Amino acid sequence: MYWRFRRHRLAVVCTFIVVFFYIVALFSETISPLDPNKVSNLYKYAPPQAIEFLDKDGNFSFRPYVLGFKSSRNPETLRITYVPDPTKRFPVRFFVPGEKYMFWGLWPSDIHVIGLGPDAPANTPFHLLGTDRLGRDMLSRIVYGARISLSIGLIGVTLSLVFGILLGGVSGYYGGWIDAVIQRIIEFIRSLPTIPVWMALAAAMPPKWPPDYVYLGITIILSLLGWTGLARVVRGRFLALREEDFVLAARLSNCSEPRIIFRHMVPSFASHIIASITLAVPGMILSETSLSFLGLGLRPPVISWGVLLQEAQNIQTVALFPWLLIPGAAVILIVLAFSFVGDGLRDAADPYGR
Amino acid sequence: MIAYTIQRLLLAIPTLFVISLLSFVLIQLPPGDFLSSYAATLAALGEQLSGDTLALLRESYGLDQPIYVQYYKWITGIVTRGDFGLSLEWKQPVKALLWERMGLTIALTLSTLLFTWLLAIPIGIYSATHQYSPLDYVFTTIGFIGLGVPGFMLALVVMWIAFIYFGADVGGLFSDQYKNAPWSLGRVWDLLQHLWVPMLILGMEGAAGLIRTMRANLLDELHKPYVTAARARGLDETVLTYEYPVQVALNPFISTLGWALPGLVNGGTIISVTLSLPTAGPLLLRALQSQDMYLAGAFILLLGSLTIVGTLISDLLLAWIDPRIRLTH
């Protein structure tokens, strides 16, 4: 299966993208250059700073630089505009001490993968993707948002998988009227417009809940309607395998039912399940983003990509500060990458299918 | 065919019943009944609702009765009188707010469906008959982007581009002078002029999926022996493609109609919030946020019924076109 997957070049490339995103999510404290919640009055809606490879004298150097800002107030609109100031040049350093943080809330540390280092004067701007309305660093927020958005995808799919395997397995293995009932339920859920139902369920969560309850609640809501696809796959496989000779042989050798299911049947369709899971994750991520975007999902101060995109709801704001849309680019990238990996896995798992 | 139609119709009734039950449960889910949240809103505005008034209101809505009685009152009101209850936020009957928005939602959904088909079928046929041609790659790439980009992102980007380069606001479905005007020919024309932007955005996702299906189906079909046999007998290539393979490949279009509708309603809800269209989406969102539960319940019930009726129609269409389906039942 691995060798067949290797042949799907795009899927292999996308696997690296997915892994990269998850590494970012895992080590977001270290990777983010700044504290995502730190408000800066000096640099509100500051544009992204470009990384340059020219030093003070205009010569090429391997050490990249960022330019400081010259801020001025537009006399007509009274808005502050930021223009890169070529006289202020700050070297970018890697693995430097910066703001203190607790890694995973456990170990104190102050090392950041990228930063200006302790030599830079205080209040030097370092916003590679600009800042938002309160002057918070977009790059750091996107990095932290990855942790929430991506983990919701994984946990939601895991929950749907539990539902899916349980109900799909029961449905396919026993058949008969149980199968008929579960199939009706699946058909019913599939014919529901999920977004309005999700919206209603999400709105039913008490607004006073602490963020981690909301996080859990959203995940459960998403998987409550999301398990049907996986259940269908599992049921189909069960139906097909039930008739196989090796299952009959196992039954004749007096194997218990759980043993038949978990020892003999599940391994033979595990690859299908993995492919289906991979294809289900982007849907979960999109759903969370959509719900949070509408203001019904996660709410600030929690940082997820959907919450970040909420800031971009107003078109006038987006027209002036287009970098607010960057979290959307992250969503698109991860969703596309996941879809391609899933496609590749499915092709590798099932060479005769389609 | 008649037997199958009746059977299918009978099956739809319990489904509609479950939908109504679900909508009602969703209405009841938020903690506290809507009168207490109404009283809280009033209190926040500085008005006080006396205990007597509250009790009176409670009785007139049947809130003091067990839940199944409440459900019975609610559903019989809808079925017999078309009465969806009262919107507390807008202080008018729900049905006064409902129908124009639902009408526009259905108009948007159906026109998008037509649009995706008109777009996807020719492109799918072209991609399959010209497999691996440059245009095929272009369409495949666009298709993948359409699948991966969430609708509201697309809506945001389109709005942004329109705002920057054309200085136009593409949100809404009507120009200012027609926004609150009664229906007239001019208003319909105005609607048609605005409808295409959300239609394009909403249709992108569905069309992308359909193009892929159409292409894959037709490719399967084109390599079957009967096509080769027909070609060997010197049949014209156009006739050869359109006479049989295309018609067979179109089959899944109708069978997936039932799934396409929930998808369109889903996408439409979010996109209409983003583009602030006067359809069901934004009002549903507001109703949910302010716990205006009769209004929200009515929208969920109607949107759910819309997809169920859609599935029903697609099943019947499929049975009508494909005799194998109606005969196995």
Could you tell me how many helices (H) and strands (E) chain A has, helices first?
Answer: 13, 5
Residues of chain A in contact with residue B163, where contact means CB-CB under 8 angstroms, are 315-316, 318-319
- Tell me: ipTM over 0.90: no
Contacts of A350 (CB under 8 A, 6+ apart): A272, A275
Sign of the alpha-carbon dihedral angle for A171, A172, A174, A178: positive
Is A204's CB within 8 Å of B26's CB?
Answer: yes
Closest CA to B113 of B267, B216, B245, B249: B267
Could you give the C-alpha distances from B303 to A194, A224, B19, B24, B279, in angstroms and in order? Answer: 10, 19, 10, 14, 11
**Taking the CB of residue B208, how many other CB atoms lie within 10 A of it?**
23
Q: Describe the crossing of helices B134-148 and A326-349 by its angle, rounded to 10 degrees.
A: 110
* Closest residue to A196, CB basis, from B150, B269, B308: B269
Residue in this structure with the two tokens 């001019």, named with its chain if needed: B186
Distance from CA of A120 to the nearest CA of B (A): 36
Q: CATH topology for A145-349?
A: MetI-like fold (1.10.3720)
- Domain assignments of chain A as residue spans, ordered by start: 40-136, 145-349
Contacts of B107 (CB under 8 A, 6+ apart): B191, B195
Q: How many CB pairs under 8 A join A and B?
A: 126
Distance between CA atoms of residues A326 and A229, nearest Å? 31
The distance of Cα A8 from the centroid of its chain, to the nearest Å, equals 23
- Residue ranges of alpha helices (H) inside A192-304 are 194-203, 211-242, 245-252, 257-259, 266-294
Name the CATH superfamily, with its identifier, for domain B100-321. Answer: MetI-like (1.10.3720.10)
* Closest residue to A328, CB basis, from B156, B261, B311: B156
- Report whether B218 contacts B246 (CB < 8 A): yes
Q: Per residue of chain B (329 residues), what is the pLDDT tens digit?
A: 778 788 878 878 888 888 888 888 877 776 666 666 666 666 666 666 666 777 776 676 666 677 777 778 778 777 777 777 777 666 777 777 777 788 888 888 888 888 888 888 888 888 888 877 888 888 887 877 777 777 788 888 888 888 777 766 666 667 766 666 666 777 777 777 777 788 888 888 778 878 888 888 888 888 888 888 888 888 888 887 887 788 777 777 776 776 677 778 878 888 888 887 787 878 888 887 777 777 888 888 888 888 888 878 877 887 777 766 666 65
Could you tell me the two tokens for A92? 């970018």
H/E stretch holding A192 reads none
Residues of chain B in contact with residue A295, where contact means CB-CB under 8 angstroms, are 285, 289
- Domain assignments of chain B as residue spans, ordered by start: 100-321
Contacts of A220 (CB under 8 A, 6+ apart): A159
Scanning every residue of chain B, which has its alpha carbon at the shortest distance from the alpha carbon of A192? B304
Residues of chain B in contact with residue A203, where contact means CB-CB under 8 angstroms, are 30, 288-289, 291, 296
